Structure 1
């Protein structure tokens, strides 16, 4: 079985946040002591880790969502519905163009809420899931 990696989509606002935090960090570092500048450097590092530490992988029958380089595995055969959505829910993604994934078994997510992720190529991602599990309803 082959692995396919899908990068996370990153919207313009995430780049804007990173540039803003970098500007604030530089302004604080120029005009203050190291102990004042370190927390803002931490926020900038957090934003960078958020951007590079999020991607998605389809590995056999597993959907693996990496957030902060930490994998979360979900069984593809338990997916009941996949649909394209737009929204600003706080989930594993930095784009408002998302994919909402509902599972047939509530124990997978330990709730009734769908998994919302933001792969860069949503159409290819959804068709790949559909190849593995043809029972998925596309909404």
Structure 2
């Protein structure tokens, strides 16, 4: 079993909690309700945990996307991977960076977009299992 972490863009790790905190900043500054501050801090911490917790696991002929270290977001058969293409799409995906790869599967119309830190090693592992995968550069 091989585990690859997601690459993390620093601006994303700052932006997501900021979008939670900024709208409530007047309440925080006024100090009227400490529970709002506690709730916002908890929500921001949870958001950061999700963003920093993406893992891509290759186990035998299966590829899994995990979030928060425990939640299995999807399991895919490596034999169904047709093509891997670099992308910088901003569409929602289990990727914490815009330095991404799109994995096209034979049984899906929509590619899976992820952002492993070491893309070359990740792709090499997949192509060692399924040499029919086309890799675009």
Q: Identify if the C-alpha distance between structure 1 residues 18 and 116 changes in structure 2 by more than 3 Å, giving closer, same or farther.
A: closer
* Secondary structure in 2 matching 1:90: coil
For 1:17-96, list aligned pairs within 5 A.
Answer: 17=15, 20=18, 28=28, 31-68=31-68, 69-71=70-72, 72-96=74-98
* Secondary structure in 2 matching 1:100: strand
The one of 101, 104, 107 aligned to 2:106: 104
Looking at structure 1, the residues matched to 20 and 81 of structure 2 have their Cα atoms a distance apart, in angstroms, of: 40
Give the alignment's Cα RMSD to 1 decimal: 2.4
* Secondary structure in 2 matching 1:129: helix
Give the corresponding residue for 2:127.
130
Could you tell me which runs of 5 or more consecutive residues in structure 1 were left unpaired when the two chains were aligned.
107-111
Looking at structure 2, the residues matched to 26 and 33 of structure 1 have their Cα atoms a distance apart, in angstroms, of: 12
The one of 7, 13, 20 aligned to 2:11: 13
Deviation at 1:29, TM superposition (A): 7.4
* Higher deviation after alignment, 11-20 or 66-75: 11-20
The structure 1 segments of at least 4 consecutive aligned residues displaced by more than 6 Å after TM superposition are: none
Could you tell me which runs of 5 or more consecutive residues in structure 2 were left unpaired when the two chains were aligned.
none
Give the corresponding residue for 1:117.
114
Deviation at 1:124, TM superposition (A): 0.9
